[in-house]
Structure 1
Amino acid sequence: MKRGDALVARIEAERDSEDERTSATMELLSCLSAGYPIERIGPLLRSDNIMAVKSGAFLASEMSNRAAPLVDDIQRLLASPVPWIRHDAIQVIWAAATASNGRAVAQAASLVNDPHVVVRSDAMHLLANTRDDVLRSALEYLDSALAPLTSWLLDEAPERMAEVARHRLDDPDPLTRRFAAIALVRHAGSNTGLLADAANSNDDDVASFASERLKRLEMEKTNPQRSRCAPLSARNP
């Protein structure tokens, strides 16, 4: 406990070089993995030191659903000016939010319109993979553009989803195209034919998102254990 507390204080103090901060962050990750209470990194998430916040967000993102007590602090970081902090914050919401965190889920989902490509992709992954009950809890907090598209993801008849999604891949609105790709990933399962349409899109967000899913399906065939452990995108403490 004392070592973990000392590392939190050290990271927050902003005295170390970048390499030293990274080393301390990774040591603190080891402490968390060994049972150091996740709540005790809260000061990093609330710090005025942006590098401490970056470390805290990274650590929380590595803890999967153990980060649930930090969701309120993490929600504020979804509005961070630093793309990698927003990236890690989405990872936490995806892994740790429940149906009682609808506002946080909605804020994370809204980053499907983020100016940074990695953050947009993270939000697309969240929308494609979050449980129905958790995603439904966000509906009342979504804006007028996102709410109907998210409702469509949840409520479209399964037998119609592929047809409607394929048609929407060619919609002039980029947000509608992204949701079409999200729907195909969410509902297509292992049907690579449906995903291939999206992977051939002229929309870079759509094509890269569908291509990544196709690669993951191939990985699951050849190495199931590795596919479960592979990160969706690079992280940096």
Structure 2
Amino acid sequence: METQAGDALIERIRAHAADDDIVGPAANDLLGELYAGYPVENLSRLLHSDDEAVAGTGAWLLAELAEFAAPMMDEIPALLSHRNRIVRYYATAVVLENADERHGPVIAQVIALSQDLESAIRWKVLEFLTESSVEQLEAGASCLAPGQLRDLTEWLVLQEDEEPDTSGIITRLAASDPVTRLFAAAAAISLSGPDDLSLLEHAARAEDEEIRSFAGERLGELREHGAG
């Protein structure tokens, strides 16, 4: 039986040399095969690699597949704790696209990455907190241990479910604790829209550079959308 094109592409990626440019083209071709029906479960051969570039390529492919990555949700806990930040980054995107109330533990794991040492991961968690549904946040909160992260997640849910605590959001944006500031930014961004940019504008003026940058980018997008 002839080897499937997807199998051959996976082997090309697994066999790459550090200075090769083969991974990018092969990964793009493999993505096309996956969309054409090549089983997504075969990506485990990349995700379990000891080669960080190979594992990162596998995680990128999962993120690119969006909801088609759902059959691989059992792989995500290990990816979220992977030593490679690129793997953790893309695994977070997979959770946003595919997690529901059944995936409380993995959502809680993403929320805990708000304390990650890598700024790129904290940025991705801020995106998750901003774009996740109330149901996702509630599922994650229920699986967090009592303490700061659970309290902040439940507070964030309340901003969506009840009258927003505008003054509380603004106060938390200036808090000394970076995790508190991150959750406050998520509230400010998720509650902002073309008709009311006040909280987002406040976040875009925050002293915290990460929050200021993220909020500024969203503010530009909303203003451009409004102008269009």
Residue of structure 1 in register with 2:166 after alignment: 162
Name which structure has the greater RCO, CA cutoff 8 Å, separation 6+: 1
The answer on 1:184 being equivalent to 2:188 is yes
- Among candidates 207, 214, 218, match of residue 213 of structure 1: 218
Is the Cα contact below 8 Å between 1:12 and 1:52 reproduced in 2?
yes
Structure 2 matches for 1:12-161, cutoff 5 A?
12-14=14-16, 17-143=19-145, 144-156=147-159, 158-161=162-165
Query: How far apart are residue 64 of structure 1 and its match?
Result: 0.7
Is the Cα contact below 8 Å between 2:63 and 2:94 reproduced in 1?
yes
For 2:82, what is the secondary structure of its paired residue? Answer: coil
Is the Cα contact below 8 Å between 1:54 and 1:85 reproduced in 2?
yes
- 1:150-200 deviation line (CA, Å, top 9, x unaligned): 000112464342221012112222211111111111222332121111111
Is the Cα contact below 8 Å between 2:16 and 2:22 reproduced in 1?
no
Is the Cα contact below 8 Å between 1:165 and 1:180 reproduced in 2?
yes
Residue of structure 2 in register with 1:234 after alignment: none
For 1:7, what is the secondary structure of its paired residue? Answer: helix
Cα distance in structure 2, aligned partners of 1:84 and 1:181: 23
Which segment is superposed worse, 197-206 or 54-63?
197-206
Is the Cα contact below 8 Å between 1:45 and 1:74 reproduced in 2?
no
Q: TM-score, normalised to structure 2's length?
A: 0.90
Which segment is superposed worse, 150-159 or 90-99?
150-159
- 1:130-153 deviation line (CA, Å, top 9, x unaligned): 111122111132242210000001
Cα distance in structure 2, aligned partners of 1:20 and 1:60: 19
Aligned Cα RMSD in Å? 1.9
Cα distance in structure 2, aligned partners of 1:10 and 1:142: 40
Q: 1:20 to 1:166 in 2, by over 3 A?
A: same
Is the Cα contact below 8 Å between 1:41 and 1:56 reproduced in 2?
yes
Is the Cα contact below 8 Å between 2:82 and 2:88 reproduced in 1?
yes
Structure 1: any 5+ residue segments left out of the alignment?
224-237
Structure 2: any 5+ residue segments left out of the alignment?
none
Residue of structure 2 in register with 1:235 after alignment: none
Give the AA of the match of 2:213: S
What percentage of residue pairs aligned between the two structures are identical? Answer: 33
Q: 1:59 to 1:222 in 2, by over 3 A?
A: farther
Give the AA of the match of 1:135: L
